[in-house]
Amino acid sequence: MNRVLDDPDLDVTENHVLVLRNAGPVGAPGMPEWGNLPIPKKLLKQGVRDMVRLCDGRMSGTHYGTCILHISPEAAVGGPLALLQTGDLVKLDVLAGTLDMLVDDAEIARRKAAWVPKAYQYERSFAALYQRHVSQAHEGCDFDFLSGTAIVPDPVIF
């Protein structure tokens, strides 16, 4: 990511939308704090200090700017970011709380039919168990085999 964003020849303006995908619970795995997409260096040199950035992962609360995170379902399981392509128009309406790909339904259906998930990164280990059984961000990133069991109480803070 940094190599691409630091490239002085990167074809990007302040009107583009930056997208980082496969950073969610399954794709990373574990939903690490990868969502802090920096502004490309060439734009920083031009004085650009914010632009729309999209990610299916998360980031620290200390980051800044127009970042839409926890996009779910994530790209790794065929969510909307998996179907988004360079050059597609994206409409963000903060007041309405909407984010839309301005791609016609037939093209989205074609892309969805052609989409193939990547092979899981791990064959065994906790990471393999996690990738195969974790739910999506909007479902709480919990294990499917724990669904319907007792809620875990918050820890006691002294």
Catalytic residues: 60
Q: Are 142 and 135 in contact (CB under 8 A)?
A: yes
Closest CA to 137 of 23, 19, 20, 18: 23
Among the listed residues 21, 85, 10, the one whose alpha carbon sits nearest the alpha carbon of residue 48 = 10
Q: How far apart are CA 76 and CA 49, in angstroms?
A: 30
Pairing state between β 18-20 and 53-55: parallel
